[in-house]
Amino acid sequence: MQALLALSRAIDRLNAFIGKYAIWIIFIATFVSAANAIVRKVFGTSSNAYLEMQWYLFAWSFLLAAGYTLLHREHVRIDVINSRLPKKVQVWIDIVGFALFLTPLCLVIIYYTWPVLVQMYESGEMSGNPGGLVRWPVWLSIPVGVALLMLQGWSELIKRIAFLTGDGPDPMGRATDITAEEALAEELRMEAQAREAKAVQERQNNTLSATGQQL
Contact 98, 8 (CB under 8 A): no
- Over the stretch 84-136, which tens digit does the pLDDT of each residue have? 888 888 888 888 989 999 999 999 999 999 999 999 998 988 887 887 788 89
For residue 134, give the 3-state DSSP assignment: strand
CA 192, CA 16: separation in Å to the nearest integer?
Answer: 30
Other CB atoms within 10 A of residue 114 CB: 14
Query: What predicted TM-score, i.e. pTM, was given to this entire model?
Result: 0.72
Q: Three-state SS for 1?
A: coil
Q: What is the pLDDT of residues 150-205, one digit of tens each?
A: 999 999 999 988 888 887 777 776 555 455 455 555 566 667 777 787 777 777 77
Cross-strand bridge partners of residue 134: 126
Q: Do 65 and 22 contact (CB within 8 A), yes or no?
A: yes
Listed in sequence order, the DSSP H helices in the chain are 2-43, 48-64, 66-71, 79-82, 87-97, 103-123, 136-164, 180-214
